[in-house]
Chains A and B, each alone.
Chain A
Amino acid sequence: MTNPTPDDRLLDWFRKLVRSVFPRMQYTGVFDYVITGVNGEAPSFTLDVAPADPSIGLPSLNAVAILASVSSMTATPSTGMACELVFLDANPSKPRVSGIEAAGANPVARLGDQCMSFLPPTTQIIGNVVIAGTPSPFTGTIITPNPITGTITQGSGRARTQ
């Protein structure tokens, strides 16, 4: 069987019939878009986006909301990054950016997360010690117990999560 073309009347009728019953079919799926503009401040960004492949039949869109991921993580997008666009319920009134191209491979930590720091295992020390009112110079070495643990107490507002 040859590929369907608009000149194939029987198949064309069938396609029209299906589309008349499922007019939202064209809005199902995940679409490859490119960010062309970023509006607003974190975490309430909206994006201007354009289809990566203009032949998909969908327009460039302005002020599209970003869909929070399962972990409620949002990221700071920038122009030129690739993104994924979906229509909630296949509804043409509900476009959402569902994913943004990863800007880097490094994981992020959150405010309150435990963290570990590694210091040099030994630190030389030079100073004076006062004994009976008389200072006496000394030198020595401090041995650091690694790692030092703690919690993150400050963060940047450019990325937010629960």
Chain B
Amino acid sequence: MNFASYASARAATVSLVVPRYGRWSADVLVALDDVVPDVGPLVFGNLTLQGAVRRQALYGGSRSLRLVGGFNGWQKDVPAQQYRLSSGVRASLLLGDAARIVGERVNVPSDRVVGDTFTRANAPAAQLLAELAGAFWYVDASGTTQIADWPAAPIRSEFVVIDQKGGAGVVTIATEDYAEWMPNKSFTSVFTQGTATVCGVRMHVSADGIARVEVLTQ
């Protein structure tokens, strides 16, 4: 079992960014000459994220990949279309249709009527996402785009704060539970003041096998 991999290909280095809003992205170097699948799981310790290849290139016997959360669809165009429903056009209908067209999955926990008509422009599906969800969306571990904020909860697993850059709002931690360090989680420690909320995470695995987790706080 590899500590870090993409689609079962061992990753020599990983630089993963999970923002508070939007989809995660990762730069991954796999020691593999073969072409990796366009869609697959990114594994980082006990964290598994469904992702897709945004860009890749072979160089010097290694393949470097830019992965994004989900299925790499939101930047694809959707055709122009009018929706009209006397009972009201719901955001879930609009987003569900767009997701199907571009090959993404979406979940709208708090649905709403946007009007009795809606004019979808011929534009990247991400534009529709921004119109209907604003900033409040993220891509969960299964690759589904959730039209909501990350679940709020305290960090319960063990961790150690090994560095803090107060000016930059970055806390470096050591942990074995990478999956728990997701945005909107909160934590306290004897080395930091008060309760901090995770506003974004950067996870790295360097070529020497050392993993590092940097937590962006407010």
Contact = CB atoms under 8 A, between A and B. Distances in A.
Interface of A: 16, 19-21, 23-24, 26-27, 57-63, 87, 91-95
A99 B118 CA distance: 20
A92 B98 CA distance: 15
A93 B122 contact: no
A58, A87, A95, most chain B CB atoms within 10 A:
A58
B84 interface: yes
- Shortest 3 CB-CB contacts between residues of A and residues of B: A93-B115, A59-B80, A57-B122
Contacts of B131: 23-24, 92
B130 A23 contact: yes
A16 B120 CA distance: 17
B172 interface: no
B121 A61 contact: no
B119 A20 contact: no
A24 B121 CA distance: 10
Interface string B68-85: 000000010001111010
Contact of B121 (A27, A63, A91, A93): A27
A78 to B, nearest CB: 22
Interface residues of B, number: 23
Contact of A16 (B84, B114, B121, B124): B124
Contacts, number: 63
A26 B119 CA distance: 11
B89 interface: yes
B217 interface: no
A92 B118 contact: yes
Contacts of A60: 82
Interface of B: 75, 79-82, 84, 89, 114-124, 126-128, 130-131
A93 B118 contact: yes
A105 to B, nearest CB: 33
Given A58-B80, A62-B84, A87 B121 contact: no
A138 B79 CA distance: 83
A20 B126 contact: yes
B25 to A, nearest CB: 13
A47 to B, nearest CB: 13
Nearest to A15: B124
A94 B114 CA distance: 10
A93 B89 contact: yes
A151 to B, nearest CB: 42
Contact of A19 (B114, B116, B117, B130): B130
Contacts of A59: 79-82, 119-122
Contacts of B127: 19-20, 23, 26
A120 B115 CA distance: 60
B121 A58 contact: yes
Contacts of B119: 27, 58-59, 61, 87, 92-93, 95
B126 A16 contact: yes
Contacts of A87: 119
Contacts of A58: 80, 119, 121-122
Contacts of A61: 82, 117, 119
A95 B117 contact: yes
A91 B131 CA distance: 9
